[in-house]
Amino acid sequence: MSAKLLDGKAVAARVRAEVAQRAAQFAARHGRRPGLAVVQVGEDPASSVYVRNKRRSSLEAGIESFAHDLPANASEPEILAVVHALNRDDRVDGILVQLPLPKGVNADRVMDAVDPLKDVDGFHPVNTGLLAQKRPRLRPCTPFGVIRLAQEYGIALTGLRATVVGASNIVGRPMALELLLARATVTVCHTGTRDLRAEVERAEVLVAAVGKAGFIPGEWVRPGAAVFDVGINRAPAGNLVGDVEFESAAARAGWITPVPGGLGPMTIAMLLSNAVDAANFRAAAKSSA
Ligand code: GUN
């Protein structure tokens, strides 16, 4: 392996320590801790792991955690009622509704119901629009984690050819907007892309967000590239692997994130950072009202 490892676990620990400091400052100034509500509907096993992690990490950073667990058969109006109540609750600065939602629930309508000032996932169209207009407010956690990790390792993104594989609303699209904000030259690949290999081979920065184990062969990776692997997939042997074939990619890349220990911990750290940001934005909005 010639690539340097981008140690998401270590950087996430630093981000969480900063968040804990900022949360304590907020508490000293406002007489309460920042509050983060995490809503889970049903018991998707992967979601349950993430939600437990998010709630535990909140508490460790000095952020109040509000848990709302709804049964898998909760109706859309029931879910919307929980979101509306959290919007009105002054102790709650951030609201996260864990995805995916059960079939039959319109996730767009649920996400759109979250107060944009409490939207710590950065999924609300208002926050997406602000990012698109290069005036970011609350920024989607995984793409923001990629940017932070690049900064921490001194990877200057300006002018680099960056390719994002995957165009989802929660990673691929906001990732492209973040890279554009960082002044990279951005390509987004998706199922309509004609020659994926050629696009990947050009990439000086590669972000893989597909959700398929080993989807990108290591031999496609450009020598010296910075590879950010967002995938967290269960391999047949039971271990977790990314979307990029790790060993062969690491032999060529300049930098690469491990899976696990890359963007997983960064995503949670950026969520906590967003929660404290949201608390501060709301306090500022109130004092100027
Ligand atoms: N499901 C998978 N990733 C995410 C995320 O970043 N936020 C939420 N709310 N759900 C997810």
CATH number at residue 40: 3.40.50.10860
Q: Whose CA is nearest to atom 9 of ligand 1?
A: 98
Given a cut of 90, whether residue 26 has pLDDT beyond it is yes
Q: Does residue 95 have its Cβ closer than 6 Å to ligand 1?
A: no
Q: How many angstroms is it from 187 CA to the middle of ligand 1? A: 23
**Domain-located, residue 3:** no
Contact indicator for 87, 81 with CB cutoff of 8 Å: no
Per-residue model confidence as pLDDT tens digits over 276-288: 999 999 999 999 8
**Domain-located, residue 17:** no
Mean local confidence (pLDDT), 113-141: 98
Q: How many angstroms is it from 141 CA to the middle of ligand 1? A: 9
**Domain-located, residue 45:** yes
Contact indicator for 1, 245 with CB cutoff of 8 Å: no
Q: Is 121 a catalytic site residue?
A: yes
Q: Which of the residues 7, 40, 93, 98 is marked catalytic?
A: 98
Given a cut of 90, whether residue 1 has pLDDT beyond it is no
Whether 171 and 60 map to the same domain: the answer is no
Mean local confidence (pLDDT), 43-62: 96
Q: Does residue 130 have its Cβ closer than 6 Å to ligand 1?
A: no
Whether 218 and 175 map to the same domain: the answer is yes
Of 63, 84, 117, the residue at which a domain comes to its end is: 117
> Domain span at residue 180?
141-264
Residue 14: CB atoms within 10 A of its CB come to 12
For 182, left (φ over 0), alpha (ψ -120 to 50), or beta? alpha
Q: Which of the residues 40, 54, 119, 243 is marked catalytic?
A: 54
**Domain-located, residue 260:** yes
In whole angstroms, what is the distance from residue 273 CA to residue 171 CA?
Answer: 18
Q: Does residue 99 have its Cβ closer than 6 Å to ligand 1?
A: yes
Residue 198 has which token pair?
């050629």
Cα separation of the two ends of the chain: 56
Whether 256 and 146 map to the same domain: the answer is yes
Q: Does residue 141 have its Cβ closer than 6 Å to ligand 1?
A: yes
Q: Is 44 a catalytic site residue?
A: no
Q: Output the pLDDT for position 31.
A: 98
Q: Output the pLDDT for position 289.
A: 82
**Domain-located, residue 227:** yes
Q: How confident is the model at residue 253 (pLDDT cuts 50, 70, 90)?
A: very high
**Domain-located, residue 148:** yes
Given a cut of 90, whether residue 85 has pLDDT beyond it is yes
Per-residue model confidence as pLDDT tens digits over 164-193: 999 999 999 999 999 999 999 999 999 999
Q: How many angstroms is it from 99 CA to the middle of ligand 1? A: 5
Give the start-end residues of each E strand in the chain.
4-5, 35-41, 64-70, 94-97, 161-165, 185-189, 205-208, 226-229, 233-234, 240-241, 255-256
Mean local confidence (pLDDT), 130-146: 98
Q: Is 54 a catalytic site residue?
A: yes
Q: How far is CA 86 from CA 13, 37, 119, 201, 207, in A?
A: 29, 8, 11, 46, 34
Is pTM beyond 0.85 here?
yes
